[in-house]
Amino acid sequence: MTDATKPATYRYSIGRAVRRTAVADPTVTEIVRHSLCSAAGQMKRSLIRTAFSPIVYDAYDFAVALYDSQLRMLAQAPSIPAFMGTLSFCVEEAVKSVGGVGELEPGDIIAYNLPYGTGSHAQDMAIVAPVFHQTELIGYAVNKAHQLDIGAKNAYCTDTTDVFQEGLKLPGVKLFRANVRNLDVLRIALANSRAPAAFEGDLHAQVASVRTGATELSRLIDRFGRETFANAVERMYDQSETAVRSFLEKIPDGRYVGCCCVDDNGVDEDPIEIAVAIEIEGSSVCVDFTSVPDAQRGPVNCPFPSTVSATRVSILALAGGPSEPNEGFFRPVDIITRPGSMFHPLSPSPCYLYGWAIMPAMEAIYRAFANAMPQLAPAGGAGDICHVAAVGYRKPREDIYYIGTSLPVGQGAHFRGDGATMFVPALAQSRMQSAELQENKFPVRFRCIEFVANSGGDGQFRGGLGYDYVWEALAQMSLISTIERTRDCAWGIQNGTAGIPNQLELEFPDGTRKVIGKVTDMTIPAGTMVRIRVGGGGGYGSPGKRAVESVHQDLAEGYITAEHARAVYPHAFTTKSKRGRA
């Protein structure tokens, strides 16, 4: 292939940005760091306390953050990790859309939800508030939250073929101009929603959140003074960068590849293999997405900002750090993509299921790190949030209801211990909506939530368990399934075995059963049982090395059956091992 015919690539790096030398007292730096985290936490609390929809106030499907005037992250409150690092793109595009920094004034609040700028599907609405201290722009308060309905072809979609089927687009418009509300924009937005009351309530909750952040950031400048605050922030960034570089420099230089699969793109049935490479050089890493497939016809394309986020979250989860994330953590990381590909789609490629590409991408990155050093990363997880939802109208001409929650799945074991059953890393701070809350608000009845024996991969350390999650529809409703990784099991490390895959089965009132994958707008009658089998994580190490006590504990807890235990862990049932336990 000649240079002229090679596909163009795009390299994203903040590690080479010009930095200024700053001297700051370490004690003051820590006070500023915690003060910024507290301010972001207040933004989060404001959003939770005022939101209308359970997906925001109960499931935490949002992100809130503060940025400085150079779009460097000052602090981001714990919520959905998949939004890590995407909010700077939201701010940049929102400000550009209204004419640039020169068009901003105190009291402005901008709404922006174009997927290629936010990194999300259009339902994730970004709200941006420029922050002024006296007359100078000092930063931004921003959040991004999942809106219940913005008028896509369905309330939730798995089969869109272009972005125009995915709902209302607000390409950077001022909801408030100098504290004066723009009612025309609000009316247009609400007219495009099947749930206008929830949309309006959640939108105003987002506005309250960024106003809280703007007030707190300005107050911190008053408290510390402009110069002291700026110096402390620079030192804070440097400390965070050092923490990540100290992790990366322990890994042998080289190029390592990890792969993972997506069942299909929602429109076609063919599986999609994702290959991601990491290139370690000293204390820096470059994550290479150029070998991934071209943008898909169905909506599993992941916009570039979320590709950045998936990379950052994966590396930060492995590297750890002394504090909550800020811009310094990201400096050692470069990212290469191919515009027009699945992980850098261009308009009008559909993006509704962008998150279902993030999860296997993160698994591929972990696998690449494990190929570099097995102790660095866990075995594979079930790699999905097993989101199965249903929509209906409470009464004719009323707002819709939306049943459904993201589910924690089995995670991979690691060299220190067994895997857990928890949310995938992309949604680690999210929460599973309670059965009681859903039964109170929606026409459903829960029948079963219980672990599945033998569902975690075997090994010296066992993979996290899968479980059955079963509910009954008490009314006719429209089913939406985004379930993924039903074909590809969680992989083991160092001779550990795979966990079970995810599965969705419907049992209809007449007793017939049907296993399905992704589906949009499937009518199910009252009395239908929706059975979600959540997958298990992979095991780590040879099963023959598992501690005898751990095998018998798993057996006592019902995590494995007696037949399975004797077949996979025979060393735990010898006369010698029994005598040792006695």
Residue-wise pLDDT for 126-153, tens only, equals 999 999 998 899 999 999 999 989 999 9
- The pLDDT tens digits of the residues spanning 509-562 come to 999 999 999 999 999 999 999 999 999 999 999 999 999 999 999 999 999 999
Residue 328 identity = G
Residue with tokens 């529809």: 473
pLDDT for 250-261, tens place per residue?
999 999 999 999
Residue with tokens 């985004």, as numbered in its chain: 482
What pLDDT shows up at residue 15? 56
What is the three-class DSSP state of 246?
helix
Phi, psi (deg, nearest 5) at residue 45: -65, -40
Residue 19: band (very low, low, confident or very high) from pLDDT cuts 50, 70, 90: low
Using pLDDT thresholds of 50, 70 and 90, give the confidence band for residue 574: confident
Task: Give the number of residues written for the chain.
Answer: 582
CA distance 502 to 487: 8
In the predicted model, is pLDDT for residue 429 greater than 70?
A: no
| 247 pLDDT more than 50 | yes
What pLDDT does residue 575 have?
61
Tell me the CA distances in angstroms from 523 to 151, 267, 288, 391, 535, one per residue in order. 19, 19, 42, 10, 26
| Mean per-residue pLDDT, 326-334 | 90
Instruction: Please give the average per-residue pLDDT across 156-168, as a whole number.
Output: 94
Check whether 447 has a pLDDT greater than 60. Answer: yes
DSSP-assigned letters across all residues of 161-189 = SSGGGS----EEEEEEETTEE-HHHHHHH
| Rounded distance between C-alpha atoms, residue 363 and residue 257, angstroms | 11
Residue 430, pLDDT score: 67
| Alpha carbon of residue 348 to chain centroid | 23
Give residue 317's pLDDT. Answer: 84
Instruction: Tell me the pTM.
Output: 0.90
- Output the DSSP codes for 9-64: -EEEE-TT---------HHHHHHHHHHHHHHHHHHHHHHHHH--SHHHHTT--EEE
The mean pLDDT of the chain is: 91
Average pLDDT over residues 191-205: 93
Predicted local distance difference test score (pLDDT) of residue 21: 60
| Choice between 449 and 8, residue whose per-residue pLDDT is larger | 449
Quick one: residue 257, left, alpha or beta (phi over 0 = left, psi -120 to 50 = alpha)?
A: beta
Q: Using one digit for the tens of pLDDT, what is the confidence trace for 553-573?
A: 999 999 999 999 999 999 999
| pLDDT at residue 6 is higher than 60 | no
Query: What 3-state class would DSSP assign to 578?
Result: helix
**Which amino acid is located at 125 in the chain?**
M
The answer on pLDDT for 86 being more than 90 is no
pLDDT band at 1; cut points 50, 70, 90: very low
SS3 content of the chain, % helix, strand, coil (to 5): 35, 25, 45
Residue 580 has pLDDT above 50, yes or no: no
Residue 433: pLDDT band with limits 50, 70, 90 = confident
Residue 216 to residue 134: CA distance in whole angstroms: 14
pLDDT value at residue 582: 35
Helix (H, G, I), strand (E, B) or coil at 455: coil
Segment 20-29 shows an average pLDDT of 80
Contacts of 472 (CB under 8 A, 6+ apart): 444, 445, 446, 447, 527, 528, 529, 530
Percent of the chain whose predicted confidence (pLDDT) is above 90: 75
Q: What DSSP string runs through 104-126?
A: --TT-EEEE--HHHHSS-TTEEE
pLDDT number for residue 406? 85
What does the domain layout of the chain look like in residue ranges? Answer: 24-242, 378-546
